[in-house]
Structure 1
Amino acid sequence: MNRATPPAPSTSAAIGSGILFLLAAFLGLQPLSTDLYLPSLPAIGEHFGAPPMAVQSTLSVFIAAFAVGQLVVGPMSDRFGRRPMVLGGLAIYLAASLAGALSPSLSWLVAARFFQALGVCCTVLCGRAIVRDLYEPEAGMRVMARAQGWMTVCTLLGPIAGGVLQSLFGWRAAFFALVAIGAVVTLAAARSLAESNRHLNPLATRPGPLLSTYARIARSHEFRAFAVPLTGSYGCLFAFISGSSYVLIGVLGISPAMYGVAFGFVTLGFLVGTLVARRIQPRIGIRGTAMAGGILLAVGGLAMAGLAAAGIQTVAAVVVPVFFTLMAHGMVGPACQVGGIAAFPRSAGAAAALLGFTMHLGAAAIGWWIGAGHDGTTLPLAASIGAIGLVTAVLAVTMLRGPGRPASGAA
């Protein structure tokens, strides 16, 4: 089955349960790889005697490696196919997760997170490219929203399980759990994943054509119009991810187990957002869905910043606004991930790589900023999310207004 000729892209959003599970798993490995150990960040700092900024480098290095790795993985998947890149990436992921569980030092853990990111970027990027291979843009957005919705159900349990694992067994248990999860996904992919790339390109990894392809994609207004809101939306999400454990556990004093519950609550917002996106996209289109999500992002972020500026430092003042911020990301994410690569069917891997590189490089910078700005209050985190949300909303409405422009040389 894996060597059969891949089908042409479909205009229907119908999808089998097997491929839906694989897409959800491929996309879900990235947030799960972080969410599961977030409740353990303070404990990791205590174990290695490291300050918050040093421990948060395990997050920023992961995101930076994920960003840069996609620039290599995308073209390789265009040349060799999605299936071999997924299976190779999962092998790297398993080895790196085991290395993380056995880390004797913080430096070792940071290195393990680097290689863990390289592995998981293969599954995430190829998952996006597979959707473009199999579906036309409008149908692809609905499929992506369904996959991310199921992904959210899984990652909803990640921080809760992470909090329980931390309370019962310590921080290493989260990484052993990731080894087990990665093994299940690897077996499922090896058994069920068929090749979807109908246009294997032997020139995709040659430096000259590759740089030309990236330049052509980056010059496309259509690509930039979706890449910018996606970067801002993901930036708000990662700002919360990188700073939430120190704010909720360190500043507001909740337990690691309750932190998992609080994080699970805000993750529900993302699930609601994907459901809303599926409902409104047939009526207002991909661009309208992304703009609506951008506006909601600003509302949630500014509400959080306003409460913090007023001196209201409670758990509810953090998690309720972030619920709506993540709801916004659930609308922006599927729309922009599909819209950003829709114009490049023969370079879907490269387009997905450049899109992922942009959003994750921005997130890595935001993670460093949050770590450096931590002052023992909720204000730096809240102000950062509010500012990013406002700028993203303005740019989303400005760049996405109108019917869109065709990409030059999109094929």
Structure 2
Amino acid sequence: MRGWLPISSSGECRRPTEETAMTAFAAPAPSMAPPPRLLLLLVIVLTGLGDLSTQIYVPVLPTIASRFGVDKEAVQHTLTAFVLAFGLGQLVWGPLSDRFGRRRVLMSGLALYLAGCAACFLAGSTWSLTAARFAQGAGAAAAIVLARAITRDAWGAKAGPVMMLGTLVIGVCVMVSPLLGSMLATLPTGWQTAFIFLFALATVVLAYVWLGFEETHHARDPQAVHVPRLLSNYRELMGDRQYASFALALAFTYGALFAFISSAPLYVVGKLGHTPGEYGMFFFLIVTGLCVGVLAARPLSQRWGFARTLRIGLGLSLASAVFALTLALTDATTLASLLLPQLGLTLGAGLVIPSAVAGAVMPQAHRSGLAAGLLGFLQMLGGALFGYLAVRFYAGTPVAMLGIQVGALALAFGTALAVGSRPAQAGLRAVS
């Protein structure tokens, strides 16, 4: 595996100094033992837990509505509650892990997640199910934040490829989870089976964290959760041009993806008349583009660095969205004319997301929990905002959705131009 070293404005590799060590631009000492494979497996499971918990639940929403005798909108609130808690929770777990360490905070988050799963299984109404899903989402937030923070702790300056692997895991979860949820729903326990599965998975993870996981964060910050210090740290992070550029580019890119996820079924199923199964295959193909992009992100970032890979991905995504919008404005929209541009868009997003995550979190060794938490919150906020706008302005055509995608990606590209524009923020690049 290749290491990551800072590049000066002249293109030369600089010898790490005390200052760059604090920002984690220096590679770990050669004598540092590689992290165990079980730790990599833990990071993979933690990374995918949130998306698995969301997507595995979607196929049974109509069944739950029928079970409780409510409309689909009421059941949709249970999904919204999870996403809301998943986003807000990351702002809490990140600083807590910087203060108290990764292990204790991760165990607390997983315990909350397990309690949420149990409450979902026992729920007797949509209100109790909504509250249970909120608790489950808050616990899942700890998983994604700690996955990124532990990766930064354990792999040091070589964390980039592992963070990119995490994005691939998310893509696979998005593709596979709905099918898994549909299969589990056919078992005797019906829609509740998904929560049994998630409870069992989280129990195994918690057992490993309790018995086999060694703390990775030893430089605790006793002031990390003090409100004045916390607010100051958030202001400092967003004042860091490199961090803010990567984080906002990620948020706007997620916004473009969620604009499609939220409103495309309304058009493809409701207007074009395709079945939900056909839309599922359509969506599966589109997410494949994301996975291919993630696989390409590692060699590209090793050659050109995170910032340039980010801009290449955004350029591809923006061009694809503009092409799709042009077709829609000329009334030439078919399923194929939606599929091909969205494949290009998700392929570009596959380059953007891992580059943005690694570029934002890797330089923040002394506060990686805080950085990962704020990054995750902004990511979910962007997705929720642009997803809402796409549904709100849907008028029977894909024009609004595609226009919102173009706008979100244009904003992302604009923020990405700020990355590496100053010598002190030249970013990371792979070296042999």
Of the three residues 138, 141, 152, the one matched with 1:132 is 152
Aligned pair in 2 of structure 1 residues 178, 259: CA closer, same or farther (>3 Å)?
farther
Deviation per CA, 1:116-148, whole angstroms, max 9, x where unpaired? 2110110100111112212344x2211211233
Say which SS state the counterpart of residue 402 (structure 1) adopts: coil
Deviation per CA, 1:186-240, whole angstroms, max 9, x where unpaired? 3343344321112112221122222222222121112111111010112122233
Report how far residue 404 of structure 1 moved.
5.4
Of the three residues 174, 178, 199, the one matched with 1:179 is 199
Corresponding residue for residue 10 of structure 1: 28
Corresponding residue for residue 4 of structure 1: none
Q: Would the aligned equivalents of 1:272 and 1:327 in 2 still touch at CA under 8 Å?
A: yes
Corresponding residue for residue 349 of structure 1: 369
Q: Which of the pair has more CA radius of gyration?
A: 2
Aligned length: 397
For structure 2, the residue ranges without an aligned partner over 5 or more in a row are 1-25, 427-432
Between stretches 329-338 and 103-112, larger displacement belongs to: 103-112
Report how far residue 253 of structure 1 moved.
4.3
TM-score, with length taken from structure 2: 0.81
Between stretches 148-157 and 284-293, larger displacement belongs to: 148-157
Aligned pair in 2 of structure 1 residues 56, 237: CA closer, same or farther (>3 Å)?
farther
d(CA) in 2 for partners of 1:271, 1:212: 37
d(CA) in 1 for partners of 2:264, 2:201: 24
Report how far residue 155 of structure 1 moved.
4.0
Letter of the 1:160 counterpart = L
Letter of the 2:298 counterpart = R
d(CA) in 1 for partners of 2:313, 2:105: 32
Report how far residue 251 of structure 1 moved.
4.1
Aligned positions of 1:114-263 closer than 5 A: 114-137=134-157, 139-165=158-184, 171-263=191-283
Letter of the 1:146 counterpart = L
Residues 1:97 and 2:126 are matched in the alignment:
no
Residues 1:284 and 2:304 are matched in the alignment:
yes
Of the three residues 301, 317, 320, the one matched with 2:340 is 320
Corresponding residue for residue 18 of structure 2: none
Aligned pair in 2 of structure 1 residues 367, 187: CA closer, same or farther (>3 Å)?
farther
Letter of the 1:142 counterpart = P
Q: Would the aligned equivalents of 1:162 and 1:260 in 2 still touch at CA under 8 Å?
A: no
Between stretches 217-226 and 264-273, larger displacement belongs to: 264-273
d(CA) in 2 for partners of 1:166, 1:243: 25
Aligned pair in 2 of structure 1 residues 88, 365: CA closer, same or farther (>3 Å)?
same
TM-score, with length taken from structure 1: 0.85
Of the three residues 413, 420, 431, the one matched with 1:393 is 413
d(CA) in 2 for partners of 1:372, 1:280: 37
Root mean square deviation, CA, Å = 3.0
Identity of aligned residues (%): 33
Say which SS state the counterpart of residue 211 (structure 1) adopts: helix
Of the three residues 292, 297, 318, the one matched with 1:298 is 318
Letter of the 1:121 counterpart = A
Report how far residue 151 of structure 1 moved.
4.5
Letter of the 1:349 counterpart = G
Residues 1:50 and 2:71 are matched in the alignment:
yes
Corresponding residue for residue 284 of structure 2: 264
